[in-house]
Amino acid sequence: MIRFEPRGPVAVSRTIGVSVTAAVAALVLAAIPMLFAGLSVLDAYVLMIKGAWGSMFAFTEMLTRASPLILTGLAAAVAFRAKLWNIGAEGQLYAGALAAVAVGTGLISGPSFVLVPAVIVAGALAGGLVMLVPTLLKTRLGVDEVVTTLLLNFVILLFVQMMLEGPMQDPMGMGWPQSEPILDEAALPKLMDRMRIHWGLVIALAASLGVYFLLKRTVWGFEIRAVGENAAAARHAGIPVTATFIRVGLLSGALAGLAGVGEVAGLKGYLTADLSPGFGYSGIVVAMLAGLSPIGVVFAALFIASIFVGADSMSRATGVSNYLADLIVAISLLSVLVSGLFLRFRIRLAGTRPARESAK
């Protein structure tokens, strides 16, 4: 029989320790499928590290991959803080991308300093509005948001496909289901010559600082934390719980929408229905790995991005499927859940002074 004893205040160092432990555990556990696939584990990891950190090109590719992950990670982190289970970042990302393309391909014209902000705002707004639907269904009608956000992912992706085969299809695209290219004035500028890395990273880093500030220093952040930790007590204490959920929903959706903006306006330049390789779902892993800390999200996103970019490169070299990356990411989520227990509890075996029980 296992017993959990609650711990006192949690030191930041312990929080970081939990995340690092989980990441290492995931890498160790992933060795099992790697062995089955006939890989030399050590060689594979060396290849992955080289693929993600080994050259300037690799490093910027990794950062480029991390940008949307930071944003979807923040989307999950801020929502989960309020116990609003937004599992729909994938759909919100596409909504943001679609809006960015709608605005950025000639709907309005103007110089960069008008178009770029317009594209960003449109994407954020679209993502936020998409998340507003399940949020309102939750607060008004009591519909569980987990399932609605999950189902909306499919609806939105189909809607995007419909637009890409219909009104928004590129007439010069030779029949491919893709949008017209974003105007140069509407594109997010590159950060470095001859590299794909773009201003989406700066937006993501700024968003992480912004969310940190919001949660830590503001009344709204206080209310989000209170609602997430104990909604009943928050309501009793006069905190506007419904309004808080709506704010969180809008913010979370907007962050995911921004991820979509970065991918179309910063990286690809046009929209296709395979824009995201599951950034929305990986964002959940990023958020959990970061212990829902907005600053931690940046580091967790770098880790996950390294796995993806590294595994792609390793896969090219060895021929082993790059689904290995998804596998490591999934194991990370499960292992961070378990290692999180060590953060909140001292774990003891039966008979050795359990204290989770209250002495009455």
CA-to-CA separations, 198 to 45, 54, 255, 304, in angstroms, rounded: 27, 20, 17, 19
Segment 261-280, which members bind another protein (CB under 8 A)?
A: none
Choice from 35, 108, 143, 192 touching another protein (CB under 8 A): 143
Segment 37-76, which members bind another protein (CB under 8 A)?
A: 37
Q: Minimum distance from CB of 142 to another protein (Å)?
A: 5
Choice from 12, 198, 226, 250 touching another protein (CB under 8 A): 226
Given the rule CB under 8 A, which of 13-21, 40-48, 187-195, 225-233 is the region that contacts another protein? 225-233
Choice from 194, 232, 274, 349 touching another protein (CB under 8 A): 232
Query: In the structure encoding, which two tokens stand for residue 240, read together?
Result: 């506007």
Segment 329-348, which members bind another protein (CB under 8 A)?
A: 329-331, 333-334, 337-338, 340-341
Segment 83-142, which members bind another protein (CB under 8 A)?
A: 85, 87, 137, 141-142
Q: Cβ closer to another protein: 202 or 273?
A: 273
* 3-state secondary structure at position 3: strand
Q: Minimum distance from CB of 185 to another protein (Å)?
A: 31
CA-to-CA separations, 293 to 16, 208, 223, 285, 300, in angstroms, rounded: 10, 9, 16, 12, 10
Asked whether position 165 contacts another protein by CB under 8 A, the answer is yes
DSSP string over 342-356:
HHHEEEEETTS---S
Q: Of the candidates 306, 257, 333, which has an alpha carbon nearest to the alpha carbon of residue 66?
A: 306
Asked whether position 162 contacts another protein by CB under 8 A, the answer is yes
Asked whether position 194 contacts another protein by CB under 8 A, the answer is no
Asked whether position 175 contacts another protein by CB under 8 A, the answer is no
Q: Minimum distance from CB of 154 to another protein (Å)?
A: 5
Q: Do residues 91 and 155 lie in contact, with contact meaning Cβ atoms separated by under 8 Å?
A: yes
What values do phi and psi take at 91, rounded to 5? -65, -40
Q: Is the dihedral of CA 181, 184, 186, 188 positive or negative?
A: positive
* 3-state secondary structure at position 322: coil
Asked whether position 233 contacts another protein by CB under 8 A, the answer is yes
Amino acid at the residue 114:
V
Choice from 113, 238, 274, 349 touching another protein (CB under 8 A): 238
Asked whether position 317 contacts another protein by CB under 8 A, the answer is no
CA-to-CA separations, 42 to 47, 325, 347, in angstroms, rounded: 9, 16, 32
Asked whether position 33 contacts another protein by CB under 8 A, the answer is yes
Choice from 132, 150, 191, 195 touching another protein (CB under 8 A): 150
Q: Cβ closer to another protein: 57 or 154?
A: 154
Compute, in degrees rounded to 10, the torsion defined by CA atoms 252, 290, 271, 317: -170
Cα 306 to chain centroid, rounded: 15
Q: Cβ closer to another protein: 112 or 272?
A: 272
Q: How many residues belong to the chain?
A: 360
Q: Cβ closer to another protein: 91 or 123?
A: 91
